[in-house]
Homo-oligomer: A and B are copies of this chain.
Amino acid sequence: MENKPIQLVYSKKYTTLTRNELIQAVKSQMSLKRFQHVLGVEQSAIQLAEKYNVSIEAVSIAALTHDYAKERSDKEMQDLIYREQFDLELLDYGSNIWHGLLGAFLVKQELGIADLDILNAIKHHTIGAEKMSLLEQVIYVADYIEPGRVFPGVEYARKLAAEDLQAAVQYETKQTLQHLIENNRKIYPKTIATYNKWVANP
């Protein structure tokens, strides 16, 4: 799937890097396949940002950096959990759970991006959170529906996202949880807090 070229000049409000410099920094951290995914998330996130009136620039930066830490070694992530005093329960999980929570930390430390809303969008893009700003919701949903995603229900998720962002968050949260259980996969407890708030008690 081809991504539309995105013309976007950063204001320096969130990062001293240009968009091209940020893209290079991100690209150096991952496989080409994941990089294509990241560009897809940016494209979808910008479309959602236009629709739901969120800063295009903040959304672009959060999208480009959301998987920044996904290919770090388990060893590096485990060391980081100890050193930076993250919840030690995280050690029972893996990269899927770590890369958002720890990624926000690494994006701040290594790329100098300090905007809390952007960092929370990175932090929560996989497991969600009981409270999510519009920016966080946009990244959470864009990661699920970007053009490269192919799974049963993705077209329905795209339709929902175009009509009602909260409904898309609910759908994604519920489907993700059901998919984990169908496959006997371990569930990180915060995922249930997200579900209880967004799906069971919206």
Residues on A facing B (Cβ under 8 Å): 174, 177-178, 181-182, 184-187, 189, 192-193, 195-196, 199-201
Contacts and interface: CB of A to CB of B under 8 A. Distances in A.
Nearest to A182: B178
State how many copies of this chain the complex holds: 2
A185 B195 CA distance: 9
Contacts of A199: 181, 184
Contact of A196 (B186, B195, B200): B186
Contacts of A181: 174, 177-178, 181, 195, 199
Nearest to A186: B200
23 contacts: A174-B181, A174-B184, A177-B181, A178-B178, A178-B181, A178-B182, A181-B181, A181-B195, A181-B199, A184-B199, A184-B200, A185-B200, A186-B196, A186-B200, A186-B201, A187-B192, A187-B195, A187-B196, A187-B200, A189-B189, A189-B192, A189-B193, A192-B192
A56 to B, nearest CB: 33
Contacts of A200: 184-187
Contacts of A177: 181
Contacts of A184: 174, 199-200
The 3 closest A-B pairs by CB, nearest first: A186-B200, A186-B196, A192-B192
A190 to B, nearest CB: 10
Contacts of A174: 181, 184
A124 B185 CA distance: 22
